[in-house]
Amino acid sequence: MDKVYIGILSCALVFLLHNLLGKKKKKNHKGGLPSPRAIPFLGHLHLVKQPIHAALCRLAERHGPVFSLRLGSRSTVVVSSPASARECFTEHDVALADRPRIPSWRFVSMYFSMLAATSYGPHWRTLRRVAAVHLLSTQRVSSMSGVIAGEVLAMVRRLYRSATASPRVQLRRRLFELSLSVLMETIAHTKATRSEWEDTDMSVEAQEYRKVLDEINQHVGMASLYWDHLPVMRWLDVFGNKNEVVAAVSKRDVFLQQPIDAERWKLDDGGIGPSSEVEGKSMISVMFTLEKKEPQVYTDTMISGVCASLFSAGAELTLAVIEWAMSLLLNHPADLKKAQDEIDRFVGFSRLVAAEDLPHVTYLKCIISETLRLYPVAPLLLPHRSSTDCKIGGYEIPSGTMVLVNVYAIHRDPAMWEHPIKLRPERFEDGKAEGLFMIPFGMGRRKCPGKAMALRTIGLVLGALLQCFDWDQVGAMEVDKTEGAEEFVTPKAIPFESLCKPRTAMSDVLKML
């Protein structure tokens, strides 16, 4: 109770200081950035509604493509136009390569040591090199194709059995398990514990990790908005947010430590050696090889952080994109049929679509591109922080400002995209969209290093779903397109559900799976 009274007094003091200093701050602000009306103490926090990217779109319509917000104690600039975003990631790429120190990230990112959250500098360069050169290079991703194809085949097999018994299916849990299984195999050469003929839609490991992620998501992002940006809320922590985040992250770390320990045991037992060759080795094995060479650089903490980054981002990304793609296609059956016809012509009916087919099934690629345009998995990317003064859209941005790039708004800019909210995969055919600005995986130094692996997985999964099954809506209503309230991804609020029927033309292949 004493903490509550102290908190109230602290808030009153902040109100007073704001009123006394507010005019002075306004006079000293350079560049005349447009900004909504703020209220004492909260600033503009009351305007940030769920989903955040949509709320910021509405504010951009009123205040322009570059405007400022004060989120509690944090100065923020929101960028919502292609020209300004391009400026951020070309002219000011270095100046905006840093990350803000968001309090709830401290625990989730192992005290800001993970690639996505760490400050721009030597540690970031090392992590980036590990990801881009050793773990997610083009050659490495190509070598993963067999693993991805194997997990896709296993999912199709289980879905075939399920759809034969009951046509009504939900994909979310199946897609999450597939994503996690691919990650488990490529990162640690481990598999989910399920029997070959088990028809449950999630393995034990997938259920466990899904629960862990859900617990973490409850306490970061939108859920921790006030906690992150109002110091007094963190000091009081009336709702115990810190303890709950720490508890959830501890469960995640225990889950991830198991494959790390298993791979270390193999190394100690002579199962793998210190060879520099990486093909065929798990990602953890590759990192252990690097650790033997430079133990002061490649530490156990770094290895744990890299694994946590890969598992967290990879498991959510594939699921979100495919759910949106299937939802959009069910609402546009002509586009779905066109994609199936293309796969039938090029691949035929005697085998499943393979990685080498993806460059040739161009309409499938157009569907994926259009899905990423309409529903980018990270609609605000991750926040950037200006390390020096810079100018965006003609406005001066002081050092230390958090910068949010609203990819969702940029991808729906009517000045660039004709009929921007409609599904039109053909806009990407024959190079028509070349030169149009699209950054679903970010841009510049901080762009997602897992883009190649994500696109290959999405292409193989979506291609197999369209090749092997016919899909139809449940009832007469269109598939709901309400967006979820997560801050860093754009999930569907309502899981994708459909009537799924094995395609007659693929029956011989499906029966042999």
Binding-site annotation: residue ranges for heme: 448
CA distance 5 to 269: 59
**Closest Cα to residue 67, out of 98, 32, 26?**
32
The CA-CA-CA angle for residues 378, 379, 382, to 5°, reads 55
> Any idea which residue has 């999930």 for tokens?
491
What residue type is 78 in one-letter code? V
DSSP string, 80-102: -SHHHHHHHHTTTTTTT-B----
Provide the token pair at 455. Answer: 């696109």
Provide the token pair at 433. Answer: 């969209």
CA distance 120 to 386: 11
CA distance 385 to 399: 8
Provide the token pair at 1. Answer: 């109770």
What residue type is 350 in one-letter code? S
DSSP state of 291: H
Coil, helix or strand at residue 420: coil
**Closest Cα to residue 314, out of 496, 106, 89, 116?**
116
The CA-CA-CA angle for residues 75, 77, 83, to 5°, reads 165
Binding-site residues sit at: 448
**Closest Cα to residue 457, out of 116, 129, 150?**
150
Q: Say how far residue 75 (Cα) sits from the centre of its chain.
A: 24
Backbone angles phi, psi at 404, to 5 degrees: -110, 125
β-bridge partners, 403: 77, 384
Element (DSSP H or E) covering residue 187: helix 172-188
Q: Which residues does 308 contact at the CB level (< 8 Å), separation at least 6?
A: 110, 114, 252, 253, 256
DSSP state of 439: -
> 389-402 burial by CB neighbour count: b if 16+ within 10 A, else e?
ebebbebebeeebb
